[in-house]
């Protein structure tokens, strides 16, 4: 029964053709949101963070869009291999990811460890490469980087802000329900 529930979980993009007309900047913004969510999980709910990281690292080459993989994996694959999807999305080669650092952080989270400073540095690098990010995501990145210094009330506010941002375009992410449990 658990298997059926996982199949029915919401995915942002069930099929590649759902991306038609989008730009790589839209995809990069979704990727940034998901990585912020993963950072929150790594700080608040290590088990959920480990589950996501281990799922993603099963196919750590990020060699293509896979309907069987979590949204975060597909977003990474779309940005990393954007030239393979020129027929579906508008690409921009200036948008990229620090792949080795991302893999290192995902492996570390998958093992149950987490270095918030290293992850925050990776997020700053992404922010610089994703030049069209909305200010709310830049602000969330700054605030989440000092997560351990936040009060419980402030943490809940940040989670709600991220959830609102993730739902802005009316798409349901597979991470959204797990974020909701933290509020």
What residues of the chain score a pLDDT lower than 70? 1-11, 170
pLDDT for 3 equals 45
Predicted local confidence at residue 168, as pLDDT: 83
Boundaries of every domain in the chain: 2-172
Is 126:22 a contact under the CB 8 Å cutoff?
no
Q: What is the pLDDT of residue 6?
A: 47
- Which residues touch 34 (CB under 8 Å, ≥6 apart)? 71, 72, 75, 173, 175
User: What was the pLDDT predicted at 170?
Assistant: 64
Output the pLDDT for position 173: 87
């Amino acid at each position: 029964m658990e298997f059926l529930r996982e199949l029915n979980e919401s995915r942002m993009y069930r099929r590649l053709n759902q991306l038609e007309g989008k730009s790589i900047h839209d995809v990069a913004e979704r990727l940034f949101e998901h990585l912020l969510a993963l950072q929150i999980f790594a700080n608040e709910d290590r088990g959920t963070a480990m589950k996501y990281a281990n799922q993603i690292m099963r196919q750590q080459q990020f060699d293509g869009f896979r309907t069987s993989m979590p949204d975060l994996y597909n977003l990474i694959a779309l940005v990393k291999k954007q030239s393979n999807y020129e027929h579906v999305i508008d690409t921009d080669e200036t948008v990229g990811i620090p792949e080795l650092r991302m893999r290192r952080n995902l492996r570390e989270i998958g093992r149950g460890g987490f270095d918030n400073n290293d992850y925050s540095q990776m997020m700053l690098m992404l922010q610089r490469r994703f030049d069209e990010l909305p200010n709310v995501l830049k602000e969330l990145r700054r605030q989440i980087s000092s997560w351990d210094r936040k009060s419980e009330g402030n943490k809940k506010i940040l989670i709600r802000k991220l959830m609102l941002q993730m739902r802005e375009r009316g798409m349901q992410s597979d991470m959204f329900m797990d974020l909701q449990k933290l509020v």
